Chains A and B, each alone.
Chain A
Amino acid sequence: MLELQNVSFQVDSENGQKEIIDSVNLRIDERFVAITGPNGGGKSTLAKLIMGIYKPTAGKIIFNGVDITDKSITERAQMGITFAFQQPVRFKGITVSDLITLASAKELNTSQVCNYLSEVGLCARDYVDREVNESLSGGELKRIEIAMAMARGTELTVFDEPEAGIDLWSFKNLISVFRKMYDKTNGSIIIISHQERILNIADRIIVIADGKITNDGKGEAVLPELLGTQSATDACTVLKNKVDME
């Protein structure tokens, strides 16, 4: 369904050109794919390349057999790609209901808007007419962002760290949202995440570090390797030594 062919993304830096994404080849046909890896490794950039927010400096992106490399954000959205931002955008005057309605691309009545909000754990009555502005917390915005992705219900949805900022909301609910989308859209979900409980339910886990794919495989194969990485072991040793000293 989605294919990245030799995709690179370079930016200018103090030391000349820096490869944020370095010749990535990837084909995704699975329904539920998690992308993980260290901060600054290129995960969010990859998501933005898929949505068309960034244009690759080399390579091609193919969606359902169509080369979308030169297609705009709007065109990609209309073809069936959705991107839920890591840091949702605030607006002045635009309400929660306005955004959910725009996302669904059809007129919605209040109870339909409320259904989407309830799915993400927001008491709909309190939120429908709220402006999506500074008065909403990061966690509230995050849930609205997920509700918008549900309302769109497209063939491919990319979530950039959906769990960040919604700590008080149980992951059970978040996972049930993904499962519902999975059933309803019959499409694929790509989630950028560091959360073990999300990685746990992925059909496939892709690890990205330094702009390259460093591990890729079925969830049950990749996850144990991730949990036993050198960095994880080191942290435990440091902690263990500290505890021993005390």
Chain B
Amino acid sequence: MALDKMQMNLLKTIADLEKVPDGAFNLRLDGGLAMRNNTENITIETKQDKPGIDIYIKAGTKNERVDIPVIVSKTGLKDLVYNDFYIGEGADVLIVAGCGIHNDGSEKSEHDGIHAFHLAKNARVKYVEKHYGEGEGTGERILNPTTEVDIAEGGYLEMETAQIKGVDSTKRVTRAVLGDKATLIIHEKIMTHGKQSAETDFAVDMNGFDCGAHVVSRSVAKDNSHQHFTSLINGNNQCNGHTECDAIIMDNAGVTADPKLTANHVDASLIHEAAIGKIAGEQLIKLMSLGLSEKEAEEQIINGFLK
């Protein structure tokens, strides 16, 4: 099947894809399977008991990429999907997921993706997720992703999530359990504007010996939007945990940071940093002294911050 121009544009925005890729690929369009491609090492299967897919990556698979974009282009569609990733021992892969909603209608469009990652011993994954909404309609665009991560000994998951613009409401939940010497790195970027609301909720159980977690959220809240950041790190063994919430607030927006750290082991080392504030006046002055208008300076600062 061929994608129309609007759908191709969404695909480009969320997955940086100009065409259907050669590697493992699964495109979900308006609540159903649109295209799929398996490779020798990566198999994607449709779930039998509920909507969604199982992705199996063979042990030892190296330098392969899996793309699983989702496009919602119908107004009034509520799409719920369960995607399970099974990453074999010693594999090292890039997984790109993203959801673009185009809503020209008056009813709300919603995509709720529940992603579960099961990393076997020494598996490494880089997971990139982009969320984007567009359309002229008054219908809301809602994205509620849930990510569950289970990393076995020596495993490594790096997650980059970005909600670029146009999503009216989002509730992002991430749960992770780390085994011995497992590492979890999360970089979240969110920008909200208008009356949008964004809620993120991270909880990491650091159960393994010498495991590490580094969770960083950078966000910009503009206009009348509101953001709520919650993080909970439980240090249940000798481990290093770090969370950081750094937010720029503008106009009449509001941001709440609600970090929690719990150490249940004497060698658990846990740190949280949170900063919320407007753009520093001296940053604006510096860029204006290079000839930028105040608005251009603001854009540069925000683009850099969310880069």
Contact = CB atoms under 8 A, between A and B. Distances in A.
Chain B residues touching A, majority SS: helix
Contacts of B290: 77, 99, 102-103, 105, 148, 152
22 contacts: A51-B289, A72-B288, A73-B285, A73-B288, A74-B291, A74-B292, A77-B289, A77-B292, A78-B291, A83-B289, A89-B282, A89-B285, A89-B286, A91-B283, A92-B246, A92-B304, A92-B305, A93-B305, A93-B307, A94-B301, A102-B290, A102-B292
A36 interface: no
B187 to A, nearest CB: 12
B305 to A, nearest CB: 5
B289 A91 contact: no
B6 interface: no
Contact of A91 (B288, B291, B301, B306): B301
Contacts of B304: 91-95, 98
A175 interface: no
A83 B291 CA distance: 11
B256 interface: no
Contacts, number: 56
Interface string A43-71: 00000000101000000000000000000
Interface of B: 218, 246, 280, 282-283, 285-294, 300-301, 303-307
A102 B246 contact: no
A95 B305 CA distance: 11
Interface string A81-100: 01101001101111100110
A246 to B, nearest CB: 47
A-B interface, 8 closest residue pairs, ranked by CB to CB distance from nearest? A93-B304, A94-B304, A77-B291, A73-B288, A89-B286, A93-B307, A74-B288, A89-B282
Contacts of B282: 89
Contact of B306 (A53, A82, A83, A93): A93
Contacts of A74: 288, 291-294
Contacts of B291: 74, 77-78, 105, 152
Task: Output the residue of A83, A88, A94 with the most chain B CB within 10 A.
Answer: A94
A95 B303 CA distance: 11
Interface residues on A, range: 20 to 34
Given A77-B288, A83-B289, A94 B280 contact: no
Contacts of B307: 93
A166 B287 CA distance: 23
Nearest to A133: B304
Contacts of A95: 304
Contact of A89 (B218, B283, B294): B283
A53 B301 CA distance: 19
Nearest to A80: B291
Contacts of B303: 93
| Most chain A beta-carbon neighbours within 10 Å: one of B287, B291, B306 | B291
Contacts of A77: 288-292
Contacts of A51: 289
A184 B282 CA distance: 29
Given A74-B294, A89-B280, A102 B300 contact: yes
Contacts of B280: 89
B292 to A, nearest CB: 7
B160 to A, nearest CB: 14
Nearest to B297: A74
Nearest to A84: B289
B27 to A, nearest CB: 32
